[in-house]
Amino acid sequence: MNHHPIGIFDSGIGGTSVWKEIAAMMPLEDTLYLADSRNAPYGERTGDEIIALSVKNTEWLLSKQCKIIVVACNTATTNAIAYLRDHYPLPFIGIEPAIKPAALHSQTGTVGVLATKGTLASRLFSTTSKNHASHIRIVEQEGAGLVSLIESGRMDSVETRELLKKYLLPMLDANMDHLVLGCTHFPYLMPLLREFLPDHIKIIDCGEAVARQTFKLVRDSEQLSDQGRPGRHTFFTNADPGVLNDILDSLPGIKEVSYLDF
């Protein structure tokens, strides 16, 4: 047994789409979430900058005695998780675009990937594509500007709608039948995506798969909590907590949000 919290960090509020799956699957576990919104979006930063920010986030979560860290950010995973695993003794769970299941089930032979520049340019993304999708066409689309709009709470703004239509058009023209969301912020655009895309196109994000992997790792390492009470969920952000509060208000569970000068 290990009653210490599961640590989660992201470049902002997007990783809450992963947190909610973890909290649902592991209801007795405490969680500690760090939103580095002041430095978002990570996808526009260099690889060295992303590693440095990921190290800073990890060190802070370690200071809070987290027993495992979920890197709830595609860009941080693809650029920094190998470094983190090499330099810290605790387990890390990462996130990468779910190309493999999309490639396996595509009927048209074309899969769209909407992600940040940092994810699309990473070595891990390239390796994953070659290993699991060499037989299909992948249409990569950088979602420039979307993370900043989501971080400011403008998920359904005119600007968001215009950008999303612009980014989806090349993938629709290529006859994709699966759209992979390569950023944990993007599930918050699901209402717009469902509005813009034909019904036959399957949208894939990795939140549930990450939660399953987190549960398996904690269980297999005999670190499951058994405190006899629901988990406590604490969130820290280094930006205006208003948008984070708004998102969390729509999700189940008791949560506490605090500003952190970090």
| Amino acid symbol at 150 | I
The residue count for the chain: 262
Return the structure tokens found at 12. 């902002």
**In terms of Cα–Cα distance, which of 32, 21, 76, 77 is closest to 211?**
21
The CA distance from 211 to 182, in Å, is 16
Task: Look up 66 and say whether it is catalytic.
Answer: no
SS3 252: coil
Return the structure tokens found at 78. 């693809």
**Exactly one of 73, 136, 138, 155 is catalytic; which is it?**
73
Helix, strand, coil percentages in the chain from 3-state DSSP, rounded to 5: 45, 20, 35
Q: Tell me how far CA of residue 120 lies from CA of 14, 114, 169, 216, in angstroms.
A: 17, 9, 18, 28
**Exactly one of 176, 183, 197, 244 is catalytic; which is it?**
183
**Residues known to be catalytic:** 73, 183
